[in-house]
C-alpha cells in the first residue's frame, strides 16, 4: 500500500528505488521458503518431496587444500544450469510406467468425435444462390470498422465481430464466441455477415490523430489485421513492424472457424479481401495501415514522410492499386491467394474485392486474373462477386476472359434513382463512396428502379446471380427477389415456395402495371403487388 516499506533480500540485479536492501548478491537461507515451510509442517517427510538444483561447491575465500583440489576438478565442467536440471527431471525423478491395474488407452477405447451435421451447401444454380433447391435469403450485418470499448458502456452498443480480440474476455463486444454468435444468427433473421478487416488495430487511433505513438501500450478491443508482426523495428503504433509476406494466424483461423460454422448452420460470409477506407479520406486511416512503408519490413515503396494533403487528407489509392510496381504486385498476388486458400473447403463464402471499393479497372482485372490462375491450379471454384462501380462492372462483364471468373454481380456502388437516371460514379477517381455522394448528390431509388437494375443484369447474364446492395437495399428485398435477385432479406416464405421460386424467372404481365411483378417457371407463377 502507499507509504509502506519495501523489503528486498538476496537480490541479484541492478538496484533501484528507496526500499530496504539486505544480503544483495548473496545466497541466503533457506534456499526455498516454500520447502522450508513444508518442512516445518511435515517434518522429515518433506525431504522426500524436496527437489532443488544441487550446489556441489562452496564459496569460502580460504578453503582447505582437499576442498580446493575438489573445486579445481569441478571447475573443468560447465556449471549445471536450472534449465538443464529441469530437462533432466526424468532421470532424477523417474515416473513408473507400471499400470498397477489401471486400464490402458487401448482397453478404454477412444470415443469417435461427433461430426456436426451440415446443411446443404450453397451453390449457384440457374443464376440464383441456393441450398439444395431453396433460395438463400436473410438479413445481413456488417462489422464495426474502428470504434469500441471493453467497458460496459462500450459493450452495450457493440456489434458482432469475428476478428475482434480482447485478451482473456469473451462475449458481446469482446472476443465473440463464434458458436454462440452463429447459433443466434441461425435462429434469427440475420443470415449473412459482410466482413472486412479493421481500419486500425487498437483503440488509441480512434482519436483520428496521425501522431506516432511513443510506446506500444495498446488499448483493447483489438481489431486484428490479416498480416503478422515481424518482431523487428517499430511501426507507427509502437509495436513491431508488419511482415506482409506472413499472415496473422489468429485472424485467418477465426474467419475459417466462422466459415465452417456457416457451412454447418446455413449462413453466409461475404469476405471483403481489402478495405479501401485505409487509403482515402482522413489521414488517420493511413497512419497505422500495414502497407504503409513505415509500418512494414517489405519495402512497399510508398512515400515517407506521408504526403498528407493540407496536412490532413490522404490520396494513396492510385499508388496502392498500381499493380505495375513489382514489390507490391508480388505482395498483392500472395495476399489474394491467401484469401482464397483460407476458405478452399468452404461453400458459404463469397469473395469480394474490397469494402468501399471505387478503384480502377486494371486492379479489378488483376484481382480476377489471380483468382483465375488459382482456380486453374487448385481445381476449386469459390464464389466470386463483382462489386465495383458501374463503368468497371460493365467493362469486366464485356470481357469474356474476366467475366467467366465472376459468379455474382453485386449492385452496390451505383443505383437507378427514382426518376430513372443512373447515379453511377466512375471508378479510379481516388474518391470514396461518400465523397462521390457529396459531389453528385444522388437521389433515392425506388421499388421500380431496384427491380429494373436487378432485372437488367439477370437478363444480360442469366447464369450469374445478382445481388442488390445499393441505396436503401434492406428496404427493397421484394424488388430484388421479383427481379430474380439473390440474397434478399425477404422473410416468412414457405420452403416449398422458396424451392419453386429458385426455378422461376421474371416475366412481364400482359397489362403493363408498374405496381405488379411476376415470376414464372412456365408451370408455376409467383405474383407480387407492390402497392399493398
State the sign of the Cα–Cα–Cα–Cα dihedral 360, 362, 366, 368.
positive
Amino acid 5: pLDDT: 84
The pLDDT value given to residue 6: 86
Every domain of the chain and the residues it spans: 1-54
> Distance between CA atoms of 305 and 307, rounded to whole angstroms?
6
419 - beta bridge partners? none
Residue with C-alpha cell 513444508? 38
Specify the residue for cell string 416475366: 507
Bridge partners for 281 per DSSP:
314
Give the orientation angle of helix 249-265 with respect to helix 178-187, to 10 degrees.
30
Closest CA to 443 of 425, 413, 423: 423
Residue ranges of the chain with per-residue pLDDT less than 70: 1, 57-59, 510-514, 532
Q: How many angstroms separate the CA atoms of 348 and 336, rounded?
A: 18
Distance CA 361, CA 318 (A): 12
What's the CA dihedral at 442, 448, 454, 456 to 10 degrees?
Answer: -100
Q: How far apart are CA 57 and CA 165, in angstroms?
A: 51
Tally the C-alpha atoms within 13 A of residue 304's C-alpha that lie toward its C-beta: 13
Pairing of strands 516-520, 505-507: antiparallel
Q: Check residue 171 and give its pLDDT.
A: 94
527 forms beta bridges with 518
pLDDT of residue 90: 86
User: For cell 575465500, what's the residue?
Assistant: 61
For 309, the 3-state DSSP assignment is strand
Q: What is the pTM of this model?
A: 0.81
Task: Classify strands 349-355 and 268-275 as parallel, antiparallel or unpaired.
Answer: parallel
CA distances to 253, 272, 370 from 221, rounded to whole Å, are 18, 21, 34
Predicted local confidence at residue 494, as pLDDT: 87
Whether 292 contacts 303, CB under 8 Å? no
The pLDDT of residue 1 is: 63
User: Which SS3 state, helix, strand or coil, does residue 341 take?
Assistant: helix
Element (H, E) at 90: helix 89-92
Looking at residue 492, its pLDDT comes to 87
Q: Of 418, 333, 338, which Cα lies nearest the Cα of 370?
A: 333
Amino acid at each position: 500500500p502507499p507509504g509502506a516499506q519495501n523489503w528486498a533480500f538476496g537480490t541479484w540485479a541492478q538496484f533501484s528505488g528507496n526500499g530496504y536492501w539486505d544480503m544483495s548478491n548473496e545466497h541466503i537461507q533457506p534456499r526455498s521458503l516454500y520447502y522450508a515451510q513444508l518442512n516445518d509442517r511435515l517434518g522429515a517427510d518433506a525431504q522426500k518431496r524436496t527437489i532443488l538444483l544441487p550446489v556441489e561447491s562452496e564459496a569460502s575465500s580460504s578453503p582447505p587444500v582437499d576442498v580446493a583440489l575438489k573445486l579445481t576438478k569441478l571447475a573443468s565442467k560447465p556449471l549445471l544450469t536450472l534449465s538443464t536440471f529441469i530437462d533432466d527431471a526424468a532421470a532424477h525423478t523417474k515416473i513408473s510406467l507400471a499400470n498397477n491395474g489401471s486400464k490402458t488407452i487401448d482397453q478404454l477405447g477412444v470415443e469417435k468425435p461427433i461430426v456436426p451435421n451440415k446443411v446443404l451447401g450453397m451453390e449457384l444454380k440457374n443464376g440464383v444462390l441456393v441450398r439444395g433447391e431453396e433460395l438463400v435469403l436473410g438479413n445481413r450485418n456488417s462489422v464495426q470498422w474502428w470504434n469500441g470499448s471493453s467497458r460496459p458502456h462500450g459493450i452495450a452498443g457493440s456489434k458482432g465481430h469475428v476478428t475482434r480480440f480482447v485478451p482473456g474476455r469473451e462475449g458481446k463486444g469482446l472476443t465473440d464466441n463464434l458458436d454462440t454468435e452463429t447459433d443466434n444468427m441461425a435462429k434469427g433473421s440475420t443470415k449473412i455477415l459482410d466482413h472486412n478487416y479493421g481500419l486500425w488495430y487498437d483503440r488509441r487511433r480512434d482519436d483520428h490523430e496521425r501522431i506516432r505513438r511513443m510506446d506500444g501500450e495498446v488499448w483493447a478491443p483489438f481489431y486484428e489485421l490479416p498480416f503478422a508482426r515481424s518482431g523487428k523495428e517499430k511501426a507507427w503504433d509502437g509495436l513491431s513492424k508488419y511482415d506482409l509476406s506472413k499472415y496473422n494466424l489468429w485472424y485467418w483461423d477465426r474467419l475459417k472457424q466462422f466459415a465452417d460454422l456457416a457451412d454447418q448452420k446455413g449462413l453466409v460470409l461475404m469476405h471483403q479481401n481489402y478495405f479501401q477506407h485505409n487509403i482515402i479520406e482522413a489521414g488517420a486511416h493511413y497512419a497505422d495501415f500495414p502497407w504503409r512503408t513505415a509500418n512494414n519490413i517489405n519495402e512497399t515503396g510508398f512515400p515517407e514522410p506521408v504526403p498528407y494533403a493540407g496536412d490532413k487528407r490522404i490520396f494513396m489509392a492510385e499508388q496502392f492499386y498500381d499493380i505495375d510496381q513489382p514489390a507490391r504486385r508480388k505482395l498483392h498476388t500472395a495476399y489474394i491467394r491467401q484469401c482464397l486458400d483460407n476458405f478452399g473447403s468452404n461453400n458459404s463464402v463469397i469473395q469480394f474485392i474490397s469494402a468501399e471499393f471505387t478503384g480502377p479497372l486494371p486492379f479489378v482485372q488483376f484481382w480476377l486474373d489471380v483468382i483465375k490462375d488459382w482456380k486453374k491450379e487448385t481445381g476449386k471454384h469459390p464464389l466470386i462477386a463483382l462489386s465495383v462501380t458501374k463503368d468497371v462492372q460493365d467493362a469486366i462483364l464485356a470481357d469474356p476472359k474476366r467475366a467467366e471468373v465472376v459468379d455474382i454481380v453485386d449492385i452496390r456502388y451505383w443505383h437507378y434513382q427514382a426518376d430513372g437516371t443512373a447515379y453511377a460514379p466512375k471508378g479510379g477517381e481516388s474518391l470514396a463512396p461518400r465523397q462521390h455522394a457529396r459531389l453528385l448528390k444522388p437521389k433515392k431509388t425506388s421499388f421500380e428502379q431496384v427491380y429494373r437494375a436487378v432485372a437488367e443484369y439477370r437478363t444480360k447474364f442469366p447464369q450469374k446471380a445478382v445481388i442488390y446492395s445499393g441505396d436503401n437495399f434492406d428496404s427493397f428485398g421484394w424488388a430484388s427477389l421479383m427481379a430474380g435477385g439473390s440474397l434478399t432479406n425477404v422473410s416468412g416464405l414457405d420452403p416449398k415456395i422458396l424451392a419453386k421460386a429458385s426455378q422461376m424467372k421474371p416475366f412481364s404481365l400482359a397489362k403493363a402495371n408498374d405496381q405488379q411483378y411476376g415470376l414464372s417457371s412456365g408451370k408455376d407463377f409467383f405474383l407480387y403487388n407492390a402497392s399493398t
